Chain A
Amino acid sequence: AQKITQTQPGMFVQEKEAVTLDCTYDTSDPSYGLFWYKQPSSGEMIFLIYQGSYDQQNATEGRYSLNFQKARKSANLVISASQLGDSAMYFCAMRMTDSSYKLIFGSGTRLLVRP
């Protein structure tokens, strides 16, 4: 069965520094997609970045990058130059490899950026 694990319930980072949020996954399928979402206190889910299992390079989107280590089945999110507005919950998710396109989510990591 497919599974997403986020082992860090909470993280602190100093403003302007970089932070890595961990995500490991488990699947036996060769084709899959991995996503990171940000959820501020308002409750909305904001898509940040995507990594496909066949992508040769790590995904990057502005200050967000994904450290994809396929052999280790990890897809860690790196946020560079943290800002106060980055304080939020962060969820890692994996798309089911059947035709349903369903997402399964990890338990999330709460990031707090200190001024």
Chain B
Amino acid sequence: SAVISQKPSRDICQRGTSLTIQCQVDSQVTMMFWYRQQPGQSLTLIATANQGSEATYESGFVIDKFPISRPNLTFSTLTVSNMSPEDSSIYLCSVLDSLGADTQYFGPGTRLTVL
């Protein structure tokens, strides 16, 4: 499976600021996803990061709040904009491994705390 890294691994931010999270994969992948996991909750898909075009957002998530870039097949960023304490979560990127069962593999996550 692909090796996925995320930066930063954790951060503490002030409300009203923005944080950009990077996701790097060691091989080219067709599909990348961004998930949010609020404290004590399950994972919720934010958007699918599309290479060369705008991301596809899920209901309840908007581009102004969570702008996503995907300049190539190995890299994507998620920005959490104008943060509030409610944005405190683990943010995870995942990639689709098209070999075999179309399994999604996840990065190590970014643990964000907003004060």
- A interface residues (Cβ-Cβ under 8 A, vs B): 33, 35, 37, 42-47, 50, 52, 91, 95, 100-108
Is A102's CB under 8 angstroms from B108's CB? no
Chain-A contact segment, one of B18-26, B75-83, B99-107? B99-107
Query: What's the minimum C-beta distance from B40 to chain A, rounded to whole angstroms?
Result: 9
Q: List 4 tightest A-B contacts by C-beta distance, closest first.
A: A45-B106, A43-B109, A50-B101, A105-B42
- Whether B68 is near chain A, meaning CB under 8 Å from some CB there, is no
Is B42's CB under 8 angstroms from A106's CB? yes
Is B101's CB under 8 angstroms from A33's CB? yes
Residue numbers in B under 8 Å from A42 (CB-CB): 108
Is B108's CB under 8 angstroms from A101's CB? no
Is A105's CB under 8 angstroms from B102's CB? no
